[in-house]
């Protein structure tokens, strides 16, 4: 049994003929940039998410950067983000000379704590970046209310949760990434909707913002060679768009398969006092980008090592929270008081999670975890 954190090889085998044909068609046409596959994918993703505009770009990090640029954020402005996230969320803030202000997360959902958000708001705050971490939707209703009250932009980092939905208290549902002024995602191969290289996209319902996002991603131009603003060069390759069109049609099924694997894990670990399984918030349709346990009463690192000895991969997302990264030293954030973030960093471990996990593998993984931690 060859176990992987994410098994893209087996997933590809099931869609091989479709994907190979689509990639070949792009090569035969020799139209490698733009074209009907990029536009078609943008339209299909907009339909899927229920948003007006999808603007494809080169990767998820660019998507976040371009979003902040389009909102006109400037050095001196403050942006509220969790520290418990992948570095890209925060890196783009720092790159633009904007000040990141870190907030703590809830220990059950791994997402932004709302009181922490309220307390972090100052007259300089311009935006909040909620991160739908591990595939769980942030509690958007109170967050949107806070943002509205203080007139703040909400830019969703949806890189880990595409396909997830949020349910409002009145029963209406909305796809994650479609609730903020701009939503951003990544099509990195291991994401829930991944291509075969790098890719990303931005979503918005605002026509003027959509125009700006498109311009910034394209050297600040609308009319060729007439550059209105400083932008960058951030495109989704046509070959990647062709792959994504195929995988988007399977996204709901992929989410379902991840949830099936999560169900198996949950059941197997249910009665173990040393293991806390991922909480599923009632407002969130969890799409399990990661399946992340919290281990108590047993050394998490020893568990990881002993799993590795049995050929079971696992990952620590993330071993160092953003506020403690050397990269951000100059912002003086290392002293931020984020007790839950600090606590989680030593307890979490993510198990293999992907669309191809079979019962035999799940049985072996869960049995091994239980045997090791006793």
Tell me how far, at minimum, the Cβ of 210 lies from ligand PLP, in Å: 20
The answer to whether residue 186 forms part of the interface with ligand PLP (CB under 6 A) is: yes
- The nearest distance, CB 110 to ligand PLP, in angstroms, is 11
Q: Using CB under 6 A as the criterion, what x/- string covers residues 82-121 for binding ligand PLP? A: ---xx-xx--------------------------------
Contact 230, 215 (CB under 8 A): no
- Of 86 and 102, nearer to ligand PLP (C-beta) is 86
- For residue 60, what are the β-bridge partners? none
Nearer to ligand PLP, 59 or 125 (CB): 59
C-beta of residue 232 within 8 angstroms of C-beta of residue 175: no
Binding mask 148-177 for ligand PLP (x = CB under 6 A): ---------x-xx-----------------
Contact 165, 158 (CB under 8 A): no
Phi, psi (deg, nearest 5) at residue 5: -60, -45
Task: Say which residues have a Cβ less than 8 Å from residue 131's Cβ, sequence separation at least 6.
Answer: 81, 82, 85, 86, 89, 111, 112, 138, 157, 159, 160
| Residue 157 or 356 with smaller CB distance to ligand PLP | 157
CA 188 vs CA 14, 30, 94, 194, 201: distances in Å: 19, 24, 22, 5, 11
The least distance separating ligand PLP from the CB of residue 170, rounded to whole angstroms, comes to: 28
Rule CB under 6 A: is residue 192 a binding residue for ligand PLP? no
CB of 313 to ligand PLP, least distance (A): 18
Q: How far is the CB of 91 from ligand PLP (least distance, A)?
A: 9
Q: Where does residue 87 rank: exposed (0-12), middle (13-18), buried (19+ CB within 10 A)?
A: middle
Q: What's the half-sphere exposure (Cβ side, CA atoms, 13 Å) at 249?
A: 10
Per-residue x/- marks for ligand PLP, 278-317, CB under 6 A? ----------------------------------------
User: For residues 61 and 165, which CB has a smaller minimum distance to ligand PLP in the complex?
Assistant: 61
238-248 and 251-269 helices cross at what angle (nearest 10)? 60
**Which of 59/139 has CB closer to ligand PLP?**
59
Q: What angle do CA 306, 308, 360 make, to 5 degrees?
A: 100
User: Residues in contact with ligand PLP, total (CB under 6 A)?
Assistant: 15
Nearest-approach distance from CB 159 to ligand PLP, in angstroms: 3
Cβ distance to ligand PLP smaller for residue 58 or 117: 58
Based on CB atoms, which residue is closest to ligand PLP, 129 or 242? 129
173-175 and 99-103 as β-strands: parallel, antiparallel, unpaired?
Answer: unpaired
DSSP string, 83-146: SSS-THHHHHHHHTTPEEEEE-B-TTT-SB-HHHHHHH--TTEEEE--B-GGGPPP-HHHHHHH
- For tokens 């994650």, the residue is 176
Rounded least distance, CB 184 to ligand PLP, Å:
7
Among 82, 183, 200, 278, binds ligand PLP (CB under 6 A): 200
Mark 37-76 with x for binding to ligand PLP (rule: CB under 6 A) and - for no binding: ----------------------xxx---------------
Task: Give dist(CA 266, CA 278) in Å, integer.
Answer: 8
* Calpha distance 264→7 (Å, rounded): 18
Q: Which residues bind ligand PLP (CB under 6 A)?
A: 59-61, 85-86, 88-89, 131, 157, 159-160, 186, 188, 198, 200
């Amino acid at each position: 049994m060859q176990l992987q954190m994410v098994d893209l090889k087996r997933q590809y085998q099931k869609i091989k003929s479709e994907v190979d044909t689509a990639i070949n068609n792009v090569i035969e046409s020799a139209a490698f940039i733009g074209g009907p596959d990029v536009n078609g994918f943008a339209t299909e993703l907009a339909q899927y998410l229920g948003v007006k505009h999808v603007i494809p770009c080169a990767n998820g990090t660019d998507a976040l950067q371009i979003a902040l640029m389009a909102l006109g954020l400037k050095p001196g402005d403050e942006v509220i983000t969790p520290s418990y996230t992948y570095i890209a969320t925060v890196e783009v803030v720092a790159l633009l000379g904007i000040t990141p202000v870190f907030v703590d997360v809830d220990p059950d959902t791994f997402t932004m704590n709302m009181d922490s958000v309220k307390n972090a708001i100052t007259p300089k705050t311009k935006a909040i970046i909620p991160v739908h971490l591990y595939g769980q939707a942030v509690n958007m209703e109170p967050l949107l209310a806070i943002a509205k009250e203080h007139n703040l932009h909400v830019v969703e980092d949806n890189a880990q949760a595409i396909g997830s939905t949020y349910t409002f208290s009145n029963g209406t549902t909305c796809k994650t990434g479609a609730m903020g002024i701009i939503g951003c995602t990544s099509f990195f191969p291991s994401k829930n909707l991944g291509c075969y290289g790098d890719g990303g996209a931005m979503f918005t319902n605002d026509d003027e913002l959509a125009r700006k996002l498109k311009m910034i991603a394209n050297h600040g131009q609308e009319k060729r060679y007439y550059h209105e603003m400083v932008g960058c060069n951030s495109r989704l390759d046509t070959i990647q768009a062709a792959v994504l069109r195929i995988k988007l049609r399977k996204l709901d099924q992929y989410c379902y398969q991840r949830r099936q694997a999560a169900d198996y894990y949950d059941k197997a670990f249910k009665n173990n006092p040393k293991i806390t399984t991922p909480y599923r918030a009632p407002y969130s349709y969890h799409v399990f980008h990661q399946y992340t346990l919290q281990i108590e009463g047993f050394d998490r690192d020893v568990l990881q090592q002993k799993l590795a000895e049995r050929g079971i991969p696992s990952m620590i997302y993330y071993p160092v929270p953003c506020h403690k990264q050397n990269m951000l030293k100059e912002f003086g954030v290392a002293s931020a008081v984020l007790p839950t973030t600090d606590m989680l960093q030593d307890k979490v471990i993510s198990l293999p999670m992907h669309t191809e996990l079979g019962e035999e593998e799940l049985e072996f993984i869960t049995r091994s975890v239980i045997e090791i931690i006793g």
